[in-house]
Amino acid sequence: MIGTTMRYAIGATALAMLAACGNMSSQDSIAGKLVQAARQTVDSRKADATPAQPRDPNEMAATALRVNKGPLILVGLESQGSTQVMAMTGENAGQRTYMTPNEQALVLRGGMLVGTRGLGHDLSVADSAQSAALIRASRGGQTQRVMRYWTGDGLERPMTLTCTIGAGPRPGVMVESCENGPLTFQNNYMVQGGRITVSRQWIGPNLGYVTIQELRP
């Protein structure tokens, strides 16, 4: 069995590999952003309501794995400069909801982000089944994805994007490049045995990117 420290080290290496796949400078690389996020503490406004969390992601992951026996992910929200562990709170037809104690949540299907809750400017739902099939099979191709967002008037607005799937520069990394007019973004996925175990995915124009590392499947 892989120990907790080794498990996290493998994930950290994978994130570093993903960093090499983007079109960003080294200063703005995924790894650099994750390191910056790792130095942040859990929101101080929640300090009185919840136990203090370890500052180091390695300690954070180890603590979560020790006290929670269910599926866990380590999440880095780049726009907020925060890193936290989310535990699975529900599963329905292959769709998993992972949540923090303060009820912020990510909804994943097979490692692909399909929704967020409690973050503000939330992604209501994303239909990315075509992309997911290619990515998990490590195959290239063109797909469409539809991402729906709640607006201030209480309506759900769809955004349709054309995406190109292809292999990244490192073995096991798949890249999904999507566009809608001037809007472009690139998602990176580490695929192991047909499963997405580490990724950097775009939530939306307001929330930007999130890094997701599987701690326990």
Residue 51, pLDDT above cutoff 70:
no
Q: Supply the DSSP string of 30-85, one letter for each residue.
A: HHHHHHHHHTPPS-GGGTTTSPPPPSSHHHHHHHHHHH--S-EEEEEETTTTEEEE
Identity (one letter) of the amino acid at 136?
R
Task: Say what the pLDDT of residue 58 is.
Answer: 84
Within 10 A of 46 (CB to CB), how many other CB atoms are there?
15
Over the range 153-178, which residues count as b (16 or more CB within 10 Å of their CB) and which as e? eeeeeebebebbbeebeeebbbbbbb
184 beta partners: 179
- Cα 152 to the center of its chain, rounded Å: 25
Average of per-residue pLDDT values in the chain: 82
Residue 2, pLDDT above cutoff 50:
no
Length of the chain: 217
8-17, 19-28, 155-164, 195-204: range with lowest mean pLDDT: 19-28
Task: Say what the pLDDT of residue 8 is.
Answer: 52
Split at pLDDT 50, 70, 90, the class of 48 is very low
pLDDT single digits (tens) 98-152 = 999 899 999 999 999 999 999 989 999 999 999 999 999 999 999 999 999 988 7
Structural domains in the chain, CATH included, are 57-216 (2.40.360.10)
